[in-house]
Amino acid sequence: MSLEHHGLLFLRRDKNCPVALFERTPRYSAGKPDILGVTAAGYLYEIEVKRSLSDFKANGSKRHIMNRDYWEASQNPVEREHLKIYPKFYWFLVPPILAPKIMESIPQWAGLLVPNNYNLSEVVTAPVNPYSKKLSVKQCLKLGNLMANQIWSLSTIIDRCGCEEYSDGPGMAAFI
């Protein structure tokens, strides 16, 4: 099972997110998420998949990550208000071999997930972002529209390929 599928299942089963998307999602949080979950209450949960140490280190140089580090460290309440654009929970999802190498480098605002068989272990618990803002009704509708487009796109690709083995497999429809 791929890391992305592990992440989708984690959000659906363990975190009770009725909506879980991957990669081709809009920029509802500060960056472009690998896996995005939306709770019934309208909060975002984000998982960033990292497959190598260099990939993880490169993530730290992204502007939205540097900004979040700055705003998290700020004592100014006005600057901390910027944290409302970030998800309520944020995790890094890495292969088991990579986890010990990055344990000391996980930002204080993120958790760490590692696959074990068909589940994920939360090696570092993700703290709650108390400033996280709920999605508006308009944003939820836009997300629903994008989900429908993803399902349509995947079913079109499956039909075009004539891939019967994927028609009953864990496509996007299985996660909705």
Residue extents of the structural domains in the chain:
3-134
Question: Is 164 a residue whose pLDDT tops 80?
Answer: no
Q: Calculate the average pLDDT of the chain.
A: 80
Is the pLDDT assigned to residue 97 strictly greater than 50? yes
- CA-wise closest residue to 48 among 11, 97, 85: 11
Which overall architecture, per CATH, does domain 3-134 show? Answer: 3-Layer(aba) Sandwich (3.40)
Which pLDDT belongs to residue 157? 53
Are 92 and 106 a contacting pair, CB within 8 Å?
yes
- CA 96 – CA 115 distance, rounded (Å): 7
> pLDDT per residue over 100-133, tens digit each?
999 999 999 999 999 988 789 999 999 999 989 9
Cα–Cα distances in Å, from 161 out to 23, 156, 164, 171?
21, 9, 9, 14
SS3 assignment, position 49: strand
Sign of CA dihedral 12, 15, 96, 58: positive
Cα 135 from Cα 121, distance rounded (Å) = 28
**Tens-digit pLDDT profile for residues 28-72:** 444 567 888 899 999 999 999 999 999 999 887 877 777 788 878
